[in-house]
Amino acid sequence: MRLRVDECKKSKKAYEIKVNYIGGEAYYPDGKGGQLGDRGSIGDAQVIEVRKDSIIVDRELSLEEYEYSINRDRQVDIAVQHTGEHLFSGIAFRDYGLKNVGFRMAEEYTTVDLDSADISLEMIEAMEREVNRSIREGIDVADFTISRGEAEKREELRKEISDKIVGDIRFIEISGVDVCACGGFHVENTREIQLFKFINWEKVKGNYTRFYFLCGERAIEDYKRKNTIIKEANRLFSSKDHEILGFIENTLKDKKETESKLKNLSIQYAELLSKDLMREAAEVEDKKVIFYPENDSVANSLSRFIDDESCILIFGGEGQYTLISKLIDCKEFIGTLRDRFNIKGGGNQIRGSFKGDLGSEDIISTLAEFLK
């Protein structure tokens, strides 16, 4: 297949080209009919995105003719996902009167929005079972084009034909399940979909439910990946599949209890440490200054026990610091640090935080000048 590049211009980190096809099919655009677009190569350039009137490629192309290719494996995957969407949407409408009000295909999954926020788990499981039953049944997928007048006489259509569509209309029909005007790629028989699996669902826009699903090889790879995770969890917990959740719940409970004990110990240690720090506080322009070089739970508890009316407390390290005191305007001092060291930070009059490439000596010397 050949095409001619008529225009090529820089577009961010890629190049936008306009082409004229000499022999062969055109690249299918991204987003048309809600589905993904084609990918492939033009000469040595890789296609990154296909727009309505242009193509985005990864390198500059001269204005000349090129051999081009289209990724057929990708087209098969898109056809599988797209026809799976038709099956799901058709069954949701046929069996429950639920309408598809939004469809989007992404590289990782496909989504469909149904016009109800009140869909039970039983309904969801039943729809998934029925989609997979229809896949196993091996229903032929018809692809035909008729005039608008003929289309408007058909009563079994899942959704109304858009006024934007003019001329003859292409339809996709899965007998007994769905008839819908549609472009894009589809399989010839439902068996080619292999498997349909919901991976998530959630309430959106107040009155809708959004379903995330996978079909075909995507669903099979998802099963393999999750099975690998489960087996690794079995190994870590020395458990069987049905025991994993119990082990995880117990581990999280133990973690929460340990964190609570550690917090209490940190508070007790901070109380003892604060007395030593107060005794050993440095004098900067007649002000007591405590610099604690850690940014941990102990540091966060120190402010409970150090009098901020008689002392300036600074704690932190590795470029992240906290300042607490009523002896100075903390916000103003952090502003001085920002101006001098080009760091980030802010706060209020008695407390603030800042981060940047500076150490304790930089902070103390700046404080000394600030206090003069």
Q: What per-residue string of b and e applies to 174-207 under the rule 16 or more CB within 10 Å gives b? A: beebbbbbbbbbbbeebebbbbbbbeebeeeeee
Whether pLDDT at 68 is above 90: yes
80 and 205 housed in the same domain: yes
Structure tokens at 249: 């719940």
pLDDT given at position 139 = 98
pLDDT given at position 66 = 97
62 and 106 housed in the same domain: no
207 and 161 housed in the same domain: yes
Give the end of a domain, one of 70, 105, 124.
70
Q: How far apart are CA 206 and CA 117, in angstroms?
A: 7
Give the end of a domain, one of 70, 102, 118.
70
Segments in 191-286 forming alpha helices (H): 216-237, 244-279
pLDDT band at 161 (very low <50, low <70, confident <90, very high): confident
Whether 250 is in a domain gets the answer: no
pLDDT given at position 33 = 83
Q: What CATH number is associated with residue 109?
A: 3.30.980.10
* CA within 13 Å, CB half, 102: 13
Each residue of 25-58: pLDDT tens digit? 999 999 988 899 999 999 999 999 999 999 999 9
Each residue of 89-142: pLDDT tens digit? 999 999 999 999 999 999 999 999 999 999 999 999 999 999 999 999 999 999
Mean pLDDT of 301-309: 90
* Average pLDDT along the chain: 94
Each residue of 283-293: pLDDT tens digit? 998 999 999 99
Whether 188 is in a domain gets the answer: yes
Number of domains comprising the chain: 3
Q: How far apart are CA 124 and CA 104, in angstroms?
A: 19
Q: Is 86:180 a contact under the CB 8 Å cutoff? A: yes
Structure tokens at 277: 């720090």
Print the domain residue range for 11: 2-70
pTM: 0.76
100 and 185 housed in the same domain: yes
pLDDT given at position 306 = 92
104 and 222 housed in the same domain: yes
pLDDT band at 372 (very low <50, low <70, confident <90, very high): confident
Q: Is 274:300 a contact under the CB 8 Å cutoff? A: no
